[in-house]
Amino acid sequence: MPHSFFLSVAYDGTAFYGWQVQSTLRSGQGDLWKALRAFDPEAPMPQGTGRTDAGVHARGQGVLLQASREWEPYRLLMALNAHLAPDIRVMGVQPAPEGFFPRQHAVAKRYVYRLDLGSAADPLQAAFRWHVHQSAPLALDAMAEAMRPLIGTHDFTSFRCVDCVAKTPIRTIHDIRIELAEGRVDLVFEGTSFLMHQVRIMAGTLVEVGRGRRAANSLASVLAARNRTCAGLTAPPKGLCLEKVWYGAQWGIGDPCPWGERA
């Protein structure tokens, strides 16, 4: 009888071709499964909460792992990390309740897109931030204004990669905000779920507003157009990180979702 555990996994996505297992390319899921099979050869593939693009990072990827025997959670964490490369780590382990599946029972996610606004790219941050070359500071007030029409439940076709296979472009964004640090800006996106490249396209479009290349009041019409060509560039993957996932309160995993739970 398998024993189920919930893992919180973090990884520097620079060398990964996304979370989802690949036939020949490196992935977060593939690395974790390889580590598990080093001491549990019959274990099935661990299941994550959601995909991340190639080059995208994660601090809070939620994973369901099924082991062939019972483990003390910290010992399982140590066993897995002993077989993982330094750029991916299991940060926490707890028993998973029966019937829990991270992808199906996630109710909201937080993604953070990180910008470096210094005069030159900070070499200690370069792997995790998009350095925005600029002759003038970004207009952060204009970016904050531009965010407002994106909050709520909308058809996000304009901010959807053409290769996205999601059944519907309707998504709910609970909050978008700017968090400041010296020389750096974090764009925080919190919502029920996101389309392929959605956060990166929204981040790229907002940077165009900040650079004065797009009007602050233009994003409502971009949203209404339901046309990818109306939105801005797709920001590079290295600035994006899956920071947190909220699950249904009945599962007892993590904090309760601050916006309640979908029906």
How many angstroms separate the CA atoms of 213 and 144, rounded?
A: 15
Query: 12, 40, 53, 116: which one is catalytic?
Result: 53
Which residues lie across from 173 on neighbouring strands? Answer: 152, 191
- In angstroms, the Cα distances linking 85 to 9, 25, 31, 43, 67 are 13, 15, 8, 20, 20
- Tokens 């699950």 label which residue? 247
Q: How far is it, in rounded angstroms, from Cα 207 to Cα 233? A: 9
The amino acid that residue 182 corresponds to is: E
Q: Give the bridge partners for 171, in sequence order.
A: 154
SS3 25: coil
Decide if 122 is catalytic.
no
In one-letter notation, the amino acid at residue 188 is V
Opening angle at CA 218, ends 215 and 220, nearest 5:
155
Of 227, 239, 131, the C-alpha closest to 189 is 239
Q: How many angstroms separate the CA atoms of 30 and 49, rounded?
A: 15
Angle (CA) 7-10-15 rounded to 5° is 130
- Catalytic machinery residues: 53
